[in-house]
Structure 1
Amino acid sequence: MVACNGRDHWTGEPLRWDLLGNYDSDESGRQGASYKRARAMQPTIDHRNSEPICDFVICSWRTNDAKHDMSIEELKEFSRLVLEHNP
């Protein structure tokens, strides 16, 4: 956590550390996507590599959802396709 300097590893955006530890699944169910959007910058763990030794970084929920199980190379290619299709 110290290595991230309070920022999303992949985007450099500041993370909302005040959101840690207070996720409410009932409220999430009631609010749906708006609850998730409000927590977009909540810190979470992303694995850059899981083989042979796990390599974790801290990023936002939003980044983790977008990246999901993609490698950084796959994320870059996906992002390039989105940007080219939506200039």
Structure 2
Amino acid sequence: MKRRADLVTCAGCALSAAGATATPLLWLSASRTRRHLGGGFENEGMDPTVLLTELPFVVLGGAFLPLLVLTVLVRLVGRRRSRTD
């Protein structure tokens, strides 16, 4: 049982790191974000404060959402196994 717990912990950390890395990249590729960071015509609509207001929430969401999904899946699988035992 300890080996399974270690595997789940390792998987959770890996998913969290991947999510915290991938979500800012997706956020930066969005047209709305590019416009706010200077991609508009003659800097129209440029708002660099999105780096301070949105980016922290994007990183936190990307780190915690995979952990939440993994936790729910582990609980559901654990319940299913306890019913069959």
TM-score when normalising by structure 2: 0.28
Structure with a larger share of its residues in strand: 1
Compare CA radii of gyration and give the structure with the larger one.
2
Q: Which has the higher helix share?
A: 2
TM-score, normalising length from structure 1?
Answer: 0.28
Which structure ranks higher in relative contact order (CA pairs < 8 Å, sequence separation ≥ 6)?
2
